[in-house]
Each structure stands twice: as structure tokens, then as C-alpha cells.
A and B are shown apart, each in its own frame.
Chain A
């Protein structure tokens, strides 16, 4: 992977058809607006999402919550442009996110639940892949950019390690650092605190909030983590059985009288539940 000489980079930036955001020009990195209109998704006969509509304002942290299997991750994959809607549409500043031109125009980073780090590459190479492949800046600048991202996430020591040698929490941090190197205008997090202990979960939540403040980036988080969602979100959408139940601020959501939302936010463990009784009767 050869890094071009600086004049070539200037040429690339100047060319109107191949406009690429200059690396350090923060004024070009304005956060984007995401619009979901009447989104319906079916896999064969199975309907996963039904008529979902909402708008994410530039620069806000928008959390999508809901029970397992409610279609949250599928919704996120549509926003990332990895899925095609059966009906309706998703746009990023009015553009279809699945088109390469849109991806070229707006930097959208997706932090996968598993991290999805490239196992054959070191942590450093994982982070450097995007700028190297897109020849955004000279190699020296890429190095600075990667090291800065590693420092922000406090994982400088992991630069030469392979993903297989990292713990779950470290992998999540590397995945976030990889997103950060892209200087994204939109970051999508898929279950960022899953499989982490509460302390590491809180650290990741702090990182998400800090990145939003520092880099004014639009953030969409898919999560089960009620505490994290209530703490860092500007607004929260609740998806239930493939339908959008509500979009509210955390304080509005706390005060909600909706039984589905109440059950999701305040689950009660009742061992006298009739379902457990049935099991008890069956075993005796």
C-alpha cells in the first residue's frame, strides 16, 4: 500500500468529482442528519421492521432500544447502507447510504458488536487501513492520526498486537479507535457495551459521550443498556416487535405510562410468575 506524495493529495482534494475531506480541516466535518422514512424490511415471509420513521438531528446522540429480536440491529444496518429496505427509505443528508458515492462524501463509521477487527492485521494496521486505502494523507500523517486515536482510547500499548490477543473491552476500544481515524460525521454503535463488565461498559459510555462532545459527530447507538442510554442520549427510540413505539428524551421516557416501555425499562423479576409456576408443577 503506497502512500502518494503530498501534491497528489492536493490534486485529489481539488478535483470536484473526487472530493475528499481534508484530514485535519475540522470545519469540513459537520455532523449529518439521518432520516428514516416508512422503513419496512422483510426476509422472505418474515417481517422484521414495519413502517419505521424518525429523524436524527445533526450532532445528537440518538439511542435505539428495544427487546432482543425487535429489529434494532437490522435498522442500524440500513442506516449504515448494508441492507436494502423492502419499502421506505433511509437517507444521510438526503443521500442513499448504500451508494459508494454517499460513503465517499460522508464518512460513516460503524462500530460492530463483535468489533469486526481484521484478524490478520495488527491493531495499528486495522486503524491505518481506511486512510491508506483512500490515500487521504501522507504516511507520516496517517501514523500521527492512528497514534492520536489510540491515545484518546488509552490503548497505545496495543498498537502492535493482533486482535486475537486483546480482551473484549480492548477490542471494543480498538473498534471505536478505528471509527475515530475515519473522522466520521456519523458514528453507529451496535451494542457497544454488550459482553462487558459494568465498569468497562461505563468507560465505553463515557468514551461515546466524549467523542460526541469533542468531534461534534452525529451518534446513533443500538443498545440494551438502559443506564447508558438514559445517561448519554439526547433522545431515545424504543422499537418493539419491529415497530417504532416512541421517540422521546430520557426524562420523558422515564415518565412514560406506556406499559411496554415501563416493562422494558423497569423489568421485575417475579419468581411467583405463572410461567415459573407451570415449570414447578411440571417438575413435581
Chain B
């Protein structure tokens, strides 16, 4: 019962936090510098890892699917399979998991540390809403960065698949055929559905990270717990939401 109460309390406070953050949206022009700083952290510094991760996801997909499709005589469809899988599912989910582990944990640790050391209370006494200064820039940054990261991840993943198809002799699909099959069946809707997912995942991850960080009380041990909690909740939220968003979009 206590766990359910805690969960509902966490959910409620996250929603209140989002409401308060967006209530200060009219002051967004004044926080552009902070949005840019957060955009750099969320987007630019995550990009290399997204690139590596998505390249190998595309490569593994092509390798696994290539051998099976070859047996069925349908290896010309590898491009479609890799393209669709990455655009609709693996691209947004893997980027979101990466974001939760890399950015979500860092944000929780930073905000929890600020909370524990009294910096957040200092903002409150100065009548500067922490939601405006600490949460809103991060939410805007993640909403701007997620589609870009996901799209870059998709493209790199598609190229990863193309490289494997061309280089692995047992598959032996030329890049022209691979991309032709990818273009033939992949629709704009597939890509936009994936980007919608990515936006929702990014928003939820950042909200969980900020909310968990700002609810931390105690000392260094609690900061560690908060980071773990934030990452675990984010992963659960990503996979749970993935099902419901997929169902809603299909």
C-alpha cells in the first residue's frame, strides 16, 4: 500500500511540476541561454553515443534479418525491415534508453545535489521559481533535441544496415537495392510516428529526472538512491508507454 501511495505521490508531483514549469512558459524568451546550455548537454553531447549505438543496431538488425530472409528468398526486403524497425520502434526506444541513462541520471544527480545543499531553497526565498529556472529549460531542450537525435539515429542505423548488407557475403544485398526497398515501403507516417514517440519519451524522462531530483531529501546516500530511482522509473515508463503509444498510433 505504501509503495502505491509513493508511486501516486511521485506521479502527482511530477504532473504538478510540469504544470508549474509550463505556467512559466511566457518567460521562455528570458531563459533562452539556459535552453541553449541544456540543448548542448542533451543533444550535442549525446549525439556521438547515439550514432555509435544506432549504427550497430542497424547492423545487427540487417545481419539477423538478412540470414533469415535469405532462407525465405526475400532478402531484397532487408532494407524495409531495417528501415521500419528503426523508424517506428528501435530508434526512438534506444535513444530514449540512452537519454535516461546518460542525461536523466545526470539531471537527477544535479538537481538532487542542489536540493540537498539548499540551493533550491535559496531560489525559493529569492522568489525565483525553481520550475522556471531549472525545469523549463530542460523540458524545452529535450523537446527540441529528441526528434533530431532520433532522426540522426535512424539515418545512421539505416546506413549501418546497408554496410552489413554490402559487406557480409552470405547476405550480399547491394546498397542500391537495400535503399530502394527502404524507400519503397517506408512512409512519412512511419517516421513521424517514431518522432512522436521520441518526443513523449524525452518529455517523460526529463520530467521524471527533474521531479525525482527536486524531491530528494537527506544527504549523498539519498542522491545516489534518487539517481537509481530516476533511471529505473524512466526505463519502466519508456517500455510501458511504448506499448500504449504504438497502440494509439496504429
Contacts and interface: CB of A to CB of B under 8 A. Distances in A.
Interface of A: 1-2, 77, 80-82, 100, 103-104, 108-110, 112-114, 116-119, 129-130, 133-134, 182
A266 B119 CA distance: 35
Most buried by B among A1, A109, A113, A133: A133
Most buried by A among B30, B33, B121, B126: B126
B218 to A, nearest CB: 13
B127 A112 contact: no
Interface of B: 29-31, 33, 114, 117-119, 121-122, 124-129, 133
A30 B118 CA distance: 28
A110 B126 CA distance: 9
A82 B130 CA distance: 13
A82 B127 CA distance: 11
A2 B119 contact: no
A116 B133 contact: no
A87 B133 CA distance: 32
Contacts of B127: 100, 103-104, 134
Given A2-B29, A2-B30, A130 B126 contact: yes
21 contacts: A1-B30, A1-B31, A77-B121, A82-B125, A100-B127, A103-B127, A110-B121, A110-B122, A112-B122, A113-B118, A116-B121, A117-B119, A117-B122, A118-B114, A118-B119, A119-B119, A129-B126, A130-B126, A133-B126, A134-B127, A182-B126
A114 B133 contact: no
B128 A110 contact: no
Given A1-B30, A2-B30, A82 B126 contact: no
Given A1-B30, A1-B33, A133-B133, A116 B126 contact: no
Contact of B125 (A108, A113, A114, A119): A108
A81 B125 contact: yes
Main secondary structure on chain A at its contact with chain B? loop
Contacts of B117: 114, 116, 119
B91 to A, nearest CB: 32
B2 to A, nearest CB: 13
Contacts of A110: 121-122, 125
Contacts of A119: 117, 119
A117 B125 CA distance: 13
Contacts of A108: 125
A130 B30 CA distance: 14
Nearest to A112: B118
A241 to B, nearest CB: 23
A130 B128 contact: yes
Given A81-B124, A110-B121, 15 more contacts: A1-B31, A80-B121, A80-B125, A100-B129, A103-B127, A104-B127, A109-B125, A116-B117, A116-B119, A116-B121, A116-B122, A117-B119, A118-B122, A119-B117, A130-B126
Nearest to A83: B121
A77 B126 CA distance: 13
Contacts of B126: 109, 129-130, 133, 182
Contacts of B33: 1
A146 B97 CA distance: 43
Nearest to B113: A119
A133 B124 contact: no
Given A1-B30, A2-B30, A103 B125 contact: yes
Contacts of A129: 126, 128
A85 B30 CA distance: 34
Nearest to A101: B127
Contacts of A130: 126, 128
Contacts of B128: 129-130, 133-134
A112 B30 contact: no
Contact of A116 (B29, B30, B31, B118): B118
Nearest to B27: A133
A104 B126 CA distance: 9
B135 to A, nearest CB: 15
B73 to A, nearest CB: 59
A182 B114 CA distance: 21
Most buried by A among B31, B33, B119: B119
Contacts of A82: 121, 124-125
Contacts of A77: 121
A33 to B, nearest CB: 19
A80 B30 CA distance: 27
Contacts of B122: 110, 112, 116-118
B137 to A, nearest CB: 12
Nearest to B128: A133
